[in-house]
Structure 1
């Protein structure tokens, strides 16, 4: 039952979804308190206690989110979106056909966790890859609000779906039931070993937290900037350019995961001044680069075209089976 998928972020008791307010059963709370978490009108649930915040407004700002929406909706990173969703589709299709611990049996729904989902550019397409439940989690409340509003407009929110097992949307395609959650990646409000797969796209890598919530032989898909990503832009913004060390985290994952495959994808982009401004705003370059460097680059692009290459690497890993 889905009721056992979520746990209370305050006392870790089982957490029951409901249309208006989610409540834990208090079974692990010494005082047997039933902690309530209201469902926002947009359809998301805030499961981030104050004590888990590292600032007043953690995560991406509204300006960064708006810039990312404009930039991504123009298709600049569509090749990465397509690659990620293709690999998820292949993994889920394989495990519906073979007898593995994470195969879909007895009509049990397949849950997937998209950690650091942001405003949902990758999440929305990911929802149509074959999973039944898509837990979209981010510490940024403004980002989750955007994702929830878009999901609600498409009829793919968790309470708009049939029995939490996915349904058909307007164009006839099947989509997962999306659960937009404001939460910390380090303190996921999910039962241990409850999700079939995890995707982390430009988000923190937390080996122990991922291992805890991932089911036996479950999958982890990670996307990072590759060597040479946005090289011409970084050359213009920084005097000393440090190359991306994309696979530096793999040794941290080694105790829990085995690397199955690595994929590289790149796209050459010709950017107008507004697109370049959005790209800078949605990346760490917005605050790492000096203001005069940013303004000089934008002034240059106002009179001539700017070409740069987006280069990404995608890792597909599987949780190591415990003997």
Structure 2
């Protein structure tokens, strides 16, 4: 593990992970002050200073996270997860084949990782050494850290893996702001943003030369029958509207679409509503009518996603 991979969110000095407390060395602080960040018992580290919080409890709520866990565990979005992992393995596999990565570690950032449904699947690919799981929601990181710990994947659990062929893949669950990432610039080989913020300049700063960016968004027609049942007028997803903002920093190298037919009983439909903005944007009577009908007949809709694969351009390889 590169000791200089992380930086202090307060003074930007190099930040050193440890099993109990992370500490910066204070080298960039005017008074050489060292800042400590305790590791929570579940295994996450809170690197979100109070001044970076926009609310008392930013990010997804506990209720939303639990609903999403149940819904995703049922496999409804597994085709998307499989596609993302397939693309990630292909990109990093090509890199390992074309360059000498034997003596360097592969670092990947999953931004807006939530409770880690996609993060844990990425970890299973066996091709990433350090997987930074970042989200502003503390309840989400609690769940991700607990799962990572149960699977023996937390960074401090890797110290005992001394076998020659042991998989020393390490997950670092961090509560942090996407706009103020506590990471050294040009240290990530790839970034995934799955239904999460798109920050072109920050992503370019984080990535190594020729680093990769995987973005997943809802596609045109995503959950269309559901939205038609909830709203009087439906605005279509403009999936690629963010691409021009990435153009100065990234080259689009591939686009993939995935569609899944969903047949949702009432409990799964309730979870889907809870984990999406539809939970509070739709009128209560529309939600109740929809859930009532699903008690007798499963609700049918389609999940449609688009996945963009981008690479940092040569012009921005050093800045």
TM-score, normalisation: structure 2: 0.96
- Where does 1:249-288 land on structure 2 (aligned, <5 Å)? 249-288=242-281
C-alpha distance in 2, partners of 1:243/1:116?
23
Given that 2:26 and 2:32 are in contact with CA atoms closer than 8 Å, whether structure 1 keeps it comes out as: yes
C-alpha distance in 2, partners of 1:108/1:287?
46
| Aligned pair partner of 2:107 in 108, 111, 136 | 111
May I ask how many residue pairs the two structures share in their alignment? 315
What's the CA shift for 1:151?
0.5
Name 1:63's counterpart in structure 2.
Answer: 63
1:83 partner SS: helix
Given that 1:132 and 1:165 are in contact with CA atoms closer than 8 Å, whether structure 2 keeps it comes out as: no
Given that 1:261 and 1:316 are in contact with CA atoms closer than 8 Å, whether structure 2 keeps it comes out as: yes
1:86 aligns with 2:79: no
| Shift in alpha-carbon separation, 1:162–1:225, aligned structure 2, 3 A | same
C-alpha distance in 1, partners of 2:19/2:142?
17
Given that 2:158 and 2:168 are in contact with CA atoms closer than 8 Å, whether structure 1 keeps it comes out as: no
1:29 aligns with 2:29: yes
Deviations 1:51-106 (A, max 9, x none): 1111100000000000000000000000000000000000111000113xxx524x
Name 1:320's counterpart in structure 2.
Answer: 313
1:180 aligns with 2:176: no
Q: Mind listing any 5+ residue stretches in structure 2 that lack a counterpart? A: none
1:244 aligns with 2:230: no
C-alpha distance in 2, partners of 1:176/1:124?
11
What's the CA shift for 1:128?
2.0
What's the CA shift for 1:166?
11
What's the CA shift for 1:167?
9.2
C-alpha distance in 2, partners of 1:163/1:195?
25
C-alpha distance in 1, partners of 2:90/2:285?
46
C-alpha distance in 2, partners of 1:166/1:220?
32
What's the CA shift for 1:300?
1.4
Name 1:16's counterpart in structure 2.
Answer: 16
Q: Mind listing any 5+ residue stretches in structure 1 that lack a counterpart? A: none
Q: What is the root-mean-square deviation of aligned Cα atoms in Å?
A: 1.7
Runs (4+) off by over 2 Å: 162-169
1:193 partner SS: coil
C-alpha distance in 2, partners of 1:175/1:294?
46
Given that 2:42 and 2:142 are in contact with CA atoms closer than 8 Å, whether structure 1 keeps it comes out as: yes
- Where does 1:43-54 land on structure 2 (aligned, <5 Å)? 43-54=43-54
What's the CA shift for 1:123?
0.5
2:30 partner SS: coil
